[in-house]
Amino acid sequence: MSGRMVVAGAVTSADGRLLLAQRRYPPEVAGLWELPGGKVEEGEDPAQALRRELREELDVDVEVGTRLERSVELAHDLTLVALWARIVGGEPRAVEHSRLRWVTVDELDEMAASGAIVPADTVWLPELSLRISGG
Ligand code: 9L3
Ligand code: MG
């Protein structure tokens, strides 16, 4: 792992859905769906950063769990990781994204097959599918 870290939230619901958020920018990925999150700031650990980012982006409080196995080396010396999370306060709303969606494993698979997921985030598809289908 090198450079600065970006942390994304694999936010799951009690009924086995995953929260996806549709990006507005940059143009290369605008309209595609991602696990919400952002850059870890100086002095934060990834869990703190994810709680802050999801408060800013979704207006919710989350409890953060373990890390997903895969990480991704992005451009600009950024390393992308993901943490499991669940909402413990508030109803998510799209503050910075165009839309939010709670998806089932079948919907996630369909979106991935049609290229609707941000390319970097596709590394987590196997882990996400296993978890939200009850694995
Ligand atoms: N990124 C990729 N997948 C994600 C997230 C949250 C972020 N699930 C990439 C997009 C940007 C960088 O990480 O290149 C920083 O993210 P943001 O601060 O623009 O959300
Ligand atoms: Mg973000």
Ligand 1 centroid to 78 CA: how many Å?
A: 9
* pLDDT confidence of residue 25: 95
pLDDT tens for each residue of 61-102: 999 999 999 999 999 999 999 999 999 999 999 999 999 999
CA distance 32 to 52: 22
- For ligand 1, atom 11, the nearest C-alpha belongs to 38
Ligand at minimal distance from the CA of 54 is: 2
Closest ligand to 75 CA?
1
7-65 pLDDT, tens digit each: 999 999 999 999 999 999 999 999 999 999 999 999 999 999 999 999 999 999 999 99
Q: Burial of 3 by CB count in 10 Å (0-12 exposed, 13-18 middle, 19+ buried)?
A: exposed
The ligand 1 atom at the shortest distance from the C-alpha of residue 39 is 18
* Distance (Å) of CA 58 to CA 14, 31, 36, 80, 124: 18, 17, 8, 19, 21
